[in-house]
Homo-oligomer: A and B are copies of this chain.
């Protein structure tokens, strides 16, 4: 994201002007406020605001009158207990507001997470910037031959070059045409009407960047991160999830630690899978055929238990 000098100056002012507050304050999060973390070629996330910290989770869980006097160790234990037993409401007591710049095709996946508040840049009202996501060569992946919904090896040579040529060329051309359609003068400088922005935008491809404010509670954020920081998520949304993970780890370290252990690093085993584990621990040699699982399930089971 190439911040303009004006934008940078504005951020600098905000960052240099702390105000006193009686609210819960997370020192690890203050340092992130307003600072853009780059994602992809033109995108970013930046924290606009937050509410609560690890102690606020415990406070809600206890519905206590104040911060309580429990030691940090007790708070960590409580947070791990809450996460393990799917007690989600205390995590909902923390909230984060992000400003995100992202390609439209990523935005369309992201918005499927419904329990969040969103204000998107309006292309009915405003003119979109000429910024398109063009993948790094290492991310120019072929269709997976195993998985209908996945990527294989990176393209190489002429095929890769041709793809980049197409993506760049079509982005440039469709944006030129967009600008031409909404323009109020023609190539001779003569006045013309200009197509309505809400119509002209339909010519723009899904790799153009948009931006929004996105506000979500910590429980629903963890749900988003579990699905989108996962190895099966599309790379272009995963890098956003990864960037958010880093911020959350600084904001609510105990909650993030529990999330990492129980969700990101954990796995849900079916009744059949648990039964297989029990049989294997007793020394039985279990195969896919004797497991009662389908081939797909068995492969995933083997990945989980090694």
Q: Interface of A with B (CB < 8 Å)?
A: 3, 7, 10-11, 13-15, 17-25, 30, 33-34, 48-52, 56, 59-61, 63, 65-67, 77, 80-81, 84-86, 89-90, 92-93, 95, 97, 99, 103-105, 107-108, 111-112, 114-115, 117-122, 124-125, 133, 135, 139-144, 148-153, 155, 159, 162-163, 166-167, 170, 173-174, 177, 180-182, 186, 192-199, 201-207, 211-213, 215, 217, 227, 232, 234, 260-262, 264-274, 277-278, 280-281, 294, 296-297, 300, 304-306
Which B residues lie within 8 Å of A119 (CB)?
60-61, 63, 89-90, 93
When the two chains form their complex, are residues A192 and B159 in contact, meaning their CB atoms are under 8 A apart? yes
Known contacts A174-B174, A234-B198: A166-B203 contact under CB 8 Å: yes
When the two chains form their complex, are residues A104 and B143 in contact, meaning their CB atoms are under 8 A apart? no
Q: Which of B105, B111, B260 contacts A202 (CB 8 A)?
A: B105
Known contacts A14-B66, A152-B196, A305-B281: A170-B173 contact under CB 8 Å: yes
When the two chains form their complex, are residues B117 and A203 in contact, meaning their CB atoms are under 8 A apart? no
Total identical chains: 4
Residue from the set A51, A192, A306 with the largest chain B CB neighbour count within 10 Å: A51
Which B residues lie within 8 Å of A192 (CB)?
159
Chain B residue, CB-CB nearest to A30: B22
When the two chains form their complex, are residues A274 and B49 in contact, meaning their CB atoms are under 8 A apart? no
When the two chains form their complex, are residues A141 and B199 in contact, meaning their CB atoms are under 8 A apart? yes
